[in-house]
Amino acid sequence: MTAATLETLVDALGTMTLADVGGLKLNREAVDVPVLVTSSLAAFQSAADAAGVRLIADVGPDLPAVDADPARIRGVLGNLLSNAIRYTPSGGTVTASVRRSGSSVAFAVRDTGPGIPAELRPQIFERFVKGPGSPGSGLGLAIAKDVVSAHGGTIEATSEPGEGTEVRFTLPVVQ
């Protein structure tokens, strides 16, 4: 295990512990959604290029700002994009989309990978649950759920074998 991997794991465990005791600190502000999504995609473009995966941004019109901690939400998007790129074969596509949904903004990351095995689907947001052969810790989606929940949002996933996976989450708009 490298020092960077160990540091990431320690940070993840710290975030989960804070979420467990209701102490996950959020530095909320009005976040410009298109900027958040496009900057998140830009941060993963080189990883996608190296994997032969095409990244697509599908940003809806006239999106309101969300009331969120931009660093924490970038972390959620980063986890979803990293997973999607990791599991999408060369020549595949990862799409990050965002739309208004009532008093929330709905984000989605969809890939064209192999999908999540049926036996893992009900557990993917639990701690230490990993896909077959995954090099990760199995904490990323659990932390994403904790962060989204702390913002008053929801997170869910759908997946079909051979058709890919889509993870969606919502965040409240600025009132």
Span 89-133, pLDDT tens digits: 999 999 999 999 999 999 999 999 999 998 999 999 998 888 777
Q: Please write down the HEC assignment for all residues of the chain.
A: CCHHHHHHHHHHHHHHHHHHCCCCCCCCEEECHHHHHHHHHHHHHHHHHHHCCEEEEEECCCCCCEEECHHHHHHHHHHHHHHHHHHCCCCCEEEEEEEEECCEEEEEEEECCCCCCCCCHHHCCCCCCCCCCCCCCCCHHHHHHHHHHHCCCCEEEEEECCCEEEEEEEEEECC
pLDDT at 40: 95
pLDDT at 175: 82
pTM given for the model: 0.89
CATH 3.40.50.150 fits 3-172, yes or no: no
How does residue 5 score in pLDDT terms, banded at 50, 70 and 90?
A: very low
pLDDT at 134: 77
58-83, pLDDT tens digit by residue?
Answer: 999 999 999 999 999 999 999 999 99
pLDDT at 88: 96
Domain range summary for the chain, segments of one domain joined by + = 3-172
